[in-house]
Homo-oligomer: A and B are copies of this chain.
Amino acid sequence: MHYERDNIQRMSGYTPGEQPDAGTVIKLNTNENPWPPSPAVMAALANVPAEALRRYPSPSAAQFLAQAAQHHHLDPSQLVATNGGDELLRLAITTFVPPGQPIGIAEPSYSLYPVLAALHDSPLKAIELDDNWQLPADFAERMNAAGVKLTLVVNPHAPSGQLMRAEKISALAQALDGVLLVDEAYVDFVDPGHDVVSLIHKHDNLLILRTLSKGYSLAGLRLGYGIGCAELITPIAQKTRDSYSVDALADALGAAALADQDTAQQSWQAVRDERTRLTHALRERGFDVISSQSNFCLAYTASQSKQSAAQLYAGLKAQNILVRHFATPRLHNAIRISVGTPAQTDQLLTELDRLLG
């Protein structure tokens, strides 16, 4: 006898990237920032009193929320702290989509989106990106025609790293009947000058996802947040969010991380520099590499390559270098490589040369 719901029995769960225990592995598979978190974060950790663990945390993660509001020049009512960005994805679905109604995504994108839709027992309205990884011109029109209540768009796009400019986001929010969630998990690595946050004053259906996992080197802490107009944020913050979903440590450490912009921004620039070097080096080796505005590169194997992408993934793994390979029609000829430190790039390239040599 089984007790789970039929839709849950039918579906498959999300497959996270491999998270090996061994510290000897070069981990270029799940897009962590290769640089360590701020010393201010470690100082905040060392100063956590036993009393902060014993007692319930602030229900809203007030310390972090105040710091994030100050950072973005917003009111705390325009933000909500979540247990990683992934919690905000689930909350947006819970808050805005009646079960059974469609959820919109571009395809391909973050492989968690279809899992969350299946959990909610909602059909997926998936619209294929064009050959340049751009949304087709009639994207919003087709979402509206399908009655989509919530559209999830990751920007910069994963796994291509392509950036949709703020003007296009604004036009998309304007055109969509439902809520537009822009998943900015990787936005910190974009070349300076890109800003979508200010658009929340213009569009009452725009919800922005941020996370400290990548930009602030805190994937282990599970801390993200949502940004939107107060009317959009309030039902999430006051109703659908789990009580106390952000713990006392994330509240304190997250605030410390945001307060030290210098350390974070230095890491972003280092990633951009290394992204440029990695892109060129891969192209020199015959890969077709899309110019990325994120902290990863999507590299297609040359048509005459001695090794398929799946073989390269396996060959690198055998040498303790993890990259990501997706066995889907559009991606099976590619490997996605997180941008690492210069030393990690060197080791990756050495190993690729051996495999392709």
- A positions within 8 Å CB-CB of B: 1-6, 8-9, 11-14, 16-17, 19, 23, 27, 30, 32-33, 35-37, 41-42, 45-46, 48, 50-59, 83-84, 86-87, 90, 94-99, 112, 115, 119, 121, 149, 178-179, 204-205, 213, 217-222, 231-232, 235, 238-240, 242-250, 253
Contact = CB atoms under 8 A, between A and B. Distances in A.
A205 B4 CA distance: 10
Contacts of A45: 45, 48, 53
Nearest to A45: B48
A95 B8 contact: yes
Nearest to A245: B83
Nearest to A232: B3
Copies in the complex: 2
27 contacts: A2-B231, A3-B149, A3-B179, A3-B232, A4-B95, A5-B95, A5-B98, A13-B238, A13-B239, A19-B58, A27-B55, A36-B50, A41-B53, A53-B219, A53-B220, A53-B221, A53-B253, A54-B217, A54-B219, A55-B220, A57-B219, A57-B220, A83-B83, A83-B245, A86-B244, A221-B247, A222-B247
Interface centre among A4, A218, A220, A240 (most CB of B within 10 A): A220
Contacts of A253: 53
A248 B83 CA distance: 12
Contacts of A6: 98
